[in-house]
A and B are shown apart, each in its own frame.
Chain A
């Protein structure tokens, strides 16, 4: 790795798998359940959080020595809120349909525990470059799970991917539907997202036994 030292690349790669914010730290579940019924909003959400957390971590990290610790939460909130409003406005301007679909959930990025968690746990104690990598890594780990869940939920729940009917037409009965296949309505409902996330955690832990906690 020429660009990144080993220690730095760990910051990006760890949250993707063995320290994933959703499946290992179990943070940010709410939005993972709410917006993953389809692939497109999942990806938009992932990109938004990558932007907010990457930039936010840098900003907090730059200010870390001048923020009075008593009011640091308020300062963090202002930073997140500013960035989220930027994302929200950009979406409204350039992808109005999508922003309607995501409705309040873009605004609710503010309350996403991953973001405040990284500000508190990492950006307040590390330099801007490392904070940036950490932010990108964690947000990407979050986005990865979102996209996996969104892929399965859209494929099995609606029979589409990005809105294209990959399984045939359910009304005209072509493709798989001709032999009696039907979309699984349960997949579109939020509880199934929880179960899919649970299954991902199951697979991950059975592949890497070190992740299983003692109890």
Chain B
């Protein structure tokens, strides 16, 4: 008896009982369901939610693998500066990979384990099927947190994000806020010392600092992000190609811009991600960057200002530092929380980019605003849709009146 058959018998055995959704989910997770829609469906397409989710996960895997290597690389490079001279030669090494696996994989396991446990629990209690929504969220979460975040914090945040961010609204497809970003926002506001600063982005930096505080005679490890350096008006040690390829400290999966662009092309090609949202987000970011550059050029703000560092960053560089690209490609395009109308998508994306850079420059506590901007626009997305629809209705009513008059 094959695995499929076994799962099917299990599913049949528990049919109608309380645990049925859990076994159904196991079956549909691995195989196509045996039954199809019987009635009432008007549009039939080949892809289902499971396939949609899988494509996004495929687009994320390169970022995850790069993140694993980068974790190791940043750790060793922080100890031995000489490694930074030739990043390519020292990047794809076994040492980096093992170190990365050792730190990144627990994040992935906790994220999926806790998140899916909550999903199964709700499915069993409420008696609906387990939804696939968490598959992508569970992959996104490890990619958008600092590497050294304690696992129990991640677990608490995942429970909060899935329950408050999604299940209370009725589960996948009903949520107002992007669950992955809800999780990140929770971590950020609950445990700010683990989510920002110059110690959390490189594995081992926090422990090393505690050792030094305890009196050990070792060098401190520091891994300031580029945005952090700019925000403090200090010089940046990485060149643009480092930023583009991703050999920089940052959240696990956000650093490599080239892999994110490949992922974006993949999502656009498979029509899973909306190119309108991605491009309008980038346009919004560039616009805000240009405005800030204009302010600096006009001399309205002096070098002594605390905003000078980030305002004077050439506008195009905003795209390769921080997580604006990752946010635009994988977060803003979430079909549930984004605007649904095409015109609405342009407005929605533009404002995400615009506000991201605004928060990035003006927020003294934390020089990155992408996740806050996306969450904010998530809330406004239905309003944008409403006005786009009303505008359309009004225009057509006018046309109708002209015709009948």
A interface residues, Cβ below 8 angstroms from B: 180, 182, 184-187, 189, 195, 198, 202
Subset of 16 A-B contacts with CB under 8 Å: A180-B152, A182-B153, A182-B191, A182-B193, A182-B194, A184-B190, A184-B191, A185-B189, A185-B191, A185-B192, A186-B190, A187-B190, A189-B189, A195-B164, A198-B168, A202-B168
Which residues in chain B, 294-347, are within 8 Å of chain A measured between CB atoms? none
Given A186-B186, A195-B164, A202-B168; A180-B150 close (CB under 8 Å): yes
Q: Is the interface of B mostly helix, strand, loop or mixed?
A: helix
Q: Between A and B, how many residue pairs show CB distances below 8 Å?
A: 21
In the complex, chain B residues 141-176 whose Cβ is within 8 Å of any chain A Cβ: 150, 152-153, 156, 164, 168
> Which residues, 181 to 211 on B, are CB-close (under 8 Å) to A?
186, 189-194
What residues on A are CB-neighbors of B194 within 8 Å? 182
- CB-defined contacts of B190 to chain A, threshold 8 Å: 184-187
Q: How far is the CA of A198 from the CA of B164 in the complex (A)?
A: 10
- CB proximity of B267 to chain A, nearest CB, Å: 32
Residues of B in contact with A (beta carbons under 8 Å apart): 150, 152-153, 156, 164, 168, 186, 189-194
A189 to B150, CA, bound (A): 22
Contact call A186/B189, Cβ cutoff below 8 A = yes
Question: Closest Cβ of chain B: how far from A204's Cβ, in Å?
Answer: 14
Q: With a CB–CB cut-off of 8 A, which chain B residues contact A202?
A: 168
* A185 CB to nearest chain B CB (Å): 5
The CA-CA distance from A202 to B125 in the complex, in Å, is 15
Contacts of B192 in A (CB 8 A): 185
> What is the CA–CA distance of A186 and B195 in the complex, to the nearest angstrom?
13
**Chain A residue nearest in CB terms to B185:** A186
Name the A residues within 8 Å of B193 (CB-CB).
Answer: 182
Main secondary structure of the interface of A (DSSP, over half): helix
Inter-chain contacts of A184 with B (CB < 8 A): 156, 190-191
* Chain B nearest CB, measured from A201 CB (Å): 10
Kindly state the separation between the CA atoms of A189 and B189 in the bound complex, as whole angstroms: 8
Complex: A202 Cα to B189 Cα, angstroms: 23
- B186: chain A residues at CB < 8 Å are 186
Q: Closest CB-CB distance, A131 to chain B, in whole Å?
A: 37
Which residues does chain B contribute within 8 Å of A180, judged by CB atoms? 150, 152
**Which residues of the other chain, B, contact A186 by a CB distance below 8 angstroms?**
186, 189-190
Measured in the bound complex, the distance between the Cα atoms of B189 and A187 in whole Å is 9
Query: From A181, which residue of chain B is reached at the shortest CB distance?
Result: B152
Most chain-B Cβ atoms within 10 A of its Cβ — which of A185, A187, A189, A202? A185
- Other than A180-B152, A189-B189, give 12 A-B pairs with Cβ distance below 8 A: A182-B153, A182-B191, A182-B193, A184-B156, A184-B190, A185-B190, A185-B191, A186-B186, A186-B189, A186-B190, A195-B164, A202-B168
B150 surroundings in chain A (CB, below 8 A): 180
Please give me the residue from chain B that is nearest to A173 by CB atom.
B210
Measured in the bound complex, the distance between the Cα atoms of B157 and A182 in whole Å is 13
- In the complex, chain B residues whose CB is within 8 Å of the CB of A195: 164
A182 to B187, CA, bound (A): 12
Cα–Cα distance between A185 and B186 once the two chains are bound (Å): 9
> CA of A185 to CA of B185 in the docked complex: distance in angstroms?
12
Closest to A199 in B: B164
Residues of B within 8 A of A185 (CB): 189-192
- Nearest-CB residue, chain A, relative to B152: A180
Using CB atoms, name the residue of chain B closest to A185: B190
Please, how many angstroms separate the alpha-carbon atoms of A187 and B186 in the complex? 10
Task: Kindly state the separation between the CA atoms of A180 and B186 in the bound complex, as whole angstroms.
Answer: 18
Distance in Å: Cβ of B151 to nearest Cβ of chain A: 10
Nearest A residue to B164, CB-CB: A195
Between B164, B168, B189, B190, the greatest number of chain A beta carbons within 10 A of the residue's beta carbon is seen for: B190
Measured between beta carbons, the chain A residues less than 8 angstroms from B156 are 184
Instruction: Give the chain B neighbours of A182 by CB distance below 8 A.
Output: 153, 191, 193-194
Q: Which residue of A lies closest to B125 (CB)?
A: A206
Q: What's the Cα separation between A189 and B192 when bound, in Å?
A: 13
Q: How far is the CA of A116 from the CA of B24 in the complex (A)?
A: 53
Q: 3 closest A-B pairs (Cβ-Cβ)?
A: A186-B190, A186-B189, A184-B190
CA distance in complex: A185, B168 (Å): 23
Question: Nearest Cβ in chain B — how far from A41, in angstroms?
Answer: 21
Measured in the bound complex, the distance between the Cα atoms of B168 and A182 in whole Å is 26
Query: Which residues of A are found within 8 Å of B191, using beta-carbon distances?
Result: 182, 184-185
Complex: how many Å from CA A164 to CA B193? 23
Q: How far is the CA of A161 from the CA of B59 in the complex (A)?
A: 48
Bound CA span A75–B191, Å: 48
Q: List residues of chain B with CB within 8 A of the CB of A187.
A: 190
Complexed CA–CA distance, A198 and B186 (Å): 16
- Give CA–CA (A88, B192) in the complex, Å: 36
Within the complex, the shortest CB–CB distance from B65 to chain A, in Å, comes to 29
A158 and B399 alpha carbons, distance in the complex (Å): 62
| Cα A203 to Cα B156 with chains together (Å) | 19
What is the CA–CA distance of A149 and B192 in the complex, to the nearest angstrom? Answer: 22
CB contacts (< 8 Å) of B168 on chain A: these are 198, 202
User: In the complex, which residues of chain A have a beta carbon less than 8 angstroms from the beta carbon of B164?
Assistant: 195
Q: In the complex, what distance in Å separates the CA atom of A198 from the CA atom of B160?
A: 13
CA–CA, A198 and B192, complex, Å: 24
A189 to B191 Cα, complex, angstroms:
12
Query: Which A residues are in CB contact (< 8 Å) with B189?
Result: 185-186, 189
How many angstroms between the C-alpha atoms of A195 and B193 in the bound complex?
Answer: 23
